[in-house]
Chain A
Amino acid sequence: MTPDLKVKLGSVELNNPIMTASGCCGYGEELAQAFPLSRLGALVTKSITREPRLGHPSPRTVEAASGMLNAIGLANVGLDCFISDKVPFLEKQDTTIVVNVAGSSIGDYVEVCARLNDVPRVDMIEVNISCPNVKEGGIEIGTDPTMTEKTIAEVRRVFSRPIIAKLTPNVTDISVVARAAEAGGADILSLINTLVGTSIDFNTWRPRLTNNRGGLSGPAIKPVALAAVDRVYQSTNLPLIGIGGIASAMDVVEFMLVGATAVQIGTSLFKDPQGPVNIVRDLKEYLKQRNLSSVTKLIGQVRKY
């Protein structure tokens, strides 16, 4: 018997729990040269903003122990170009499409989400209220429960399909913001975005990122992300998407055991563009060996002390 990999996020059923993370697979075109995107549970696009953004000047990435720092600064083609140039490609892909949305004011989020509501191929949106690399919007919303609830509530009014709120770990208690997003009307929560960090060149005494700081991602943050998912699973009823340092099927199992329904693969895509395909294969094998009929049997089943 082949184990069932299907999972449900709100009203949307995914072929499997493996999604890509925003900012780590562009708009899907390049990744499609590594494998057919239908092998993914879902594809999540780079953050889209109302206007195109160039982002911060280079250098805007630097290696860190077991991971990397980035301060891309939400570089993206902007909403109009996304709809005219990128959606036609996505329309042809046989996978769930999630568009990640960012803004510098609540009005921005609302405008972008209202337009995306009219693009049927956009199955869900992921509201990025957690980008640590821009001054306004992003993390300023995601660290404030009141703003979080308000932003999600406003977006809820204009977008009729499932809404994912993407949470930042750069807070004292992530469950407070999680509950605020739930109160605002989010259907699903994804966590975590990157952790604020930096790196300094000891020769030049300059930060290694022109933005002076950035967001840490990769295997280095996996323990933090797992603890965050565990914490939020205890405090809300929403399905969760685990993100942070996932590079193998065993990592996926860990996230699902603490409560994730699905996961996103970010930085490790850079190491291996075909990683998601291997993870799906290995996950299936793991379930087989454990005699589990469905991947959903893992969700929240951690055996705690």
Chain B
Amino acid sequence: MSKLKIERVAVRNLRHLSRDYYSMCLGPWPKGCRSKPGQFVHVGLPESDIFFRRALSIAWVDPDRDESHFIFKVFGRGIRLLSRCNKGDEVELLGPLGVPFKMPKKNETCLLIGGGVGFPPLYFLAYRMIEKGRDPRTIEFFYGGRTSEEIVERTRLRKLGVKFRPVTDDGSFGEQGLVTEAVTRYLDSTPPRNPRIYSCGPAPMLRATDELARRYDIPGQVSLEAPMPCGFGVCLGCVVPLRAGGNARVCTEGPVFEIGEVLL
């Protein structure tokens, strides 16, 4: 009955992907399987001295096995401790939380623009859109990282059949440069029909995406990150300023916002 309940869920699998990236599977967790792309869970470690839970985007869910999957990057002590969990260890979960992505219209071309740890919600979005019958070739998946090692879960992504467009700062995999530069080149060379942007990643990338979207007048949404003490809207610690004035809470009004809505 109560939506805000901390649950204890076991780690079913935790795997090092590359560099600071890990993939984690939690289950059984029936509630998780009802989550939508763009939503997150607030994950804490019981019996640890880490005070706050951390927000992790859901990367995909497997209702048949009651599993939720995550991909995360280690930054800070909290997530490092999470990355050291063993199979069978329990984590504390609150969620799924937040506003999901809006699904595109049938005739739209989806430009998914992800950087680094912004990958999971976009992967979930692509996965869900295809599950719902969208032609994977109408999904342009731009995925940027500093080096090849930051482009994780490529096989999984390729399997979806989307147009995979990797971009790295050093050119070690895919196009060289910034992911938003690659998107600009694409828009200039092969303007898509009815484009719609979905983006998630580090702040500078989101800023560039937001600017690009407004310059080309492309609608869409961005998913933001913020430190979240509570995750359910009461502490006001996660706010971002809105272009129209006022603030919005990333945990409850977000993490997904319309392009141009937030002053990034």
A64-B51, A68-B229 known; A271-B236 Cβ under 8 A: no
Q: Which residue of A lies closest to B235 (CB)?
A: A270
Name the A residues within 8 Å of B13 (CB-CB): none
Given the known inter-chain contacts A59-B227, A66-B49, please indicate yes or no for A273 contacting B235, CB distance below 8 A. no
User: Is A270 touching B234 in the complex (CB atoms < 8 A)?
Assistant: yes
Contacts of B246 in A (CB 8 A): 54
Given A54-B246, A54-B247, A218-B51, A72 and B237 contact (CB-CB distance below 8 Å): yes
Residues on A with beta carbons closer than 8 Å to the beta carbon of B53? 271
Q: Are B234 and A25 in contact (CB under 8 A)?
A: yes
Interface residues of B: mostly helix, strand, loop or mixed?
A: loop
CB neighbors of B among A2-45 (8 A) = 23-26, 30-31, 33-35
Say whether A70 faces chain B, with CB atoms less than 8 Å apart. Answer: yes
Report the bound CA distance from A54 to B232 in whole Å: 19
Measured CB to CB, the nearest residue on chain A to B252 is A30
Interfacial residues of chain A within 233-277, with CB under 8 A of chain B in the complex: 267, 269-274
**Contact mask B49-67 → A, CB, 8 Å, 1/0?**
1111100000000000000
Q: Is A292 an interface residue (CB 8 A)?
A: no
* A30 B49 Cβ-Cβ under 8 A: no
Residue of B at shortest CB range from A57? B241
Contact between A34 and B236, CB atoms less than 8 A apart: no
The CA-CA distance from A232 to B50 in the complex, in Å, is 32
Q: Across the interface, do B6 and A273 meet the contact criterion of CB distance under 8 Å?
A: yes
Q: Does A55 contact B (CB under 8 A)?
A: yes
A34 with B51: CB separation less than 8 A: no
A62 an interface residue at 8 Å Cβ cutoff?
yes
Let me know if A26 and B241 touch, CB within 8 A.
Answer: no
Q: Is B43 an interface residue (CB 8 A)?
A: no
Inter-chain contact B230/A270, CB cutoff 8 Å: yes
Shortest Cβ distance from residue A113 to the other chain B in the assembled complex, whole angstroms: 23
Answer whether residue A58 sits at the interface, using C-beta atoms and an 8 A cutoff: yes
Interface size counted on chain A using CB atoms at 8 A: 35
Count of A-B contacts judged by CB separation below 8 Å: 94
Instruction: Assess the A75–B234 pair: CB atoms within 8 A.
Output: no
Contacts of A66 in B (CB 8 A): 49, 51
A67 contacts the other chain (CB 8 A): yes
Chain A's closest residue to B239 (CB) is: A58
Q: How far is the CA of A167 from the CA of B234 in the complex (A)?
A: 22
Residue of A nearest to B52 (CB): A63
What is the CA–CA distance of A77 and B241 in the complex, to the nearest angstrom?
A: 15
A68-B52, A75-B247 known; A33-B3 Cβ under 8 A: yes
- Using an 8 Å CB-CB cutoff, how does the interface string of B239-252 with A read, 1 for contact, 0 for none? 11100001100001
B233 interface residue per 8 A CB criterion: yes
The B216-264 residues at the A interface (CB cut-off 8 A) are: 226-227, 229-241, 246-247, 252
State A25–B258 Cα separation when bound (angstroms). Answer: 27
A34, A55, A70, A267 interface centre (most CB from chain B within 10 Å): A34
* Range, interface on chain B: 20 to 34
Contacts of A46 in B (CB 8 A): 236
Of B44, B50, B227, B240, the contact of A61 (CB 8 Å cutoff): B227
Inter-subunit contact B6/A272 (CB<8 Å) = yes
Across the interface, name the chain A residue whose C-beta is closest to B247: A54
Is B5 an interface residue when CB atoms closer than 8 A count as contact? yes
Taking the closest CB of chain A, its distance from the CB of B17, in whole angstroms, is 25
Residue B2 interfacial (CB < 8 Å): yes
> Is residue A65 contacting chain B, with contact meaning CB distance below 8 A?
yes
Say yes or no: is A60 at the interface (Cβ < 8 Å to chain B). yes
B230 adjacent to A274 (CB under 8 Å): no
Out of B6, B233, B235, which one reaches A70, CB within 8 Å?
A: B235
Q: Is A30 touching B6 in the complex (CB atoms < 8 A)?
A: no
A34 contact from B5, B226, B229, B238, Cβ within 8 A: B5
Please report the C-alpha to C-alpha distance between residue A67 and residue B247 in the assembled complex, in whole angstroms: 25
Picked from B50, B226, B232, B236, the residue with its CB within 8 Å of the CB of A72 is B236
Given the known interface contacts A54-B246, A54-B247, A66-B51, the answer about A61 and B6 at a Cβ–Cβ threshold of 8 Å is: no
Question: In angstroms, how far is the closest chain B Cβ from the Cβ of A132?
Answer: 16
What are the residues of chain A within 8 A of B241 when measuring CB–CB?
54, 57
List 14 A-B residue pairs with CB atoms under 8 Å apart, sorted by A's residue number.
A30-B232, A34-B4, A34-B232, A35-B2, A61-B235, A70-B235, A75-B247, A218-B51, A270-B230, A271-B44, A271-B53, A273-B4, A273-B230, A274-B5
Other than the given A31-B4, A64-B51, 17 more pairs (CB < 8 A) read: A23-B235, A30-B232, A33-B2, A54-B246, A54-B247, A59-B227, A61-B227, A66-B51, A75-B247, A218-B51, A269-B230, A270-B229, A270-B231, A271-B44, A273-B5, A273-B6, A273-B232
Binding site for B on A (CB under 8 A): 23-26, 30-31, 33-35, 46, 54-55, 57-68, 70, 72, 75, 218, 267, 269-274
By Cβ-Cβ distance, the 7 closest A-B pairs, closest first, are A61-B237, A34-B4, A270-B230, A273-B4, A33-B3, A30-B233, A26-B234
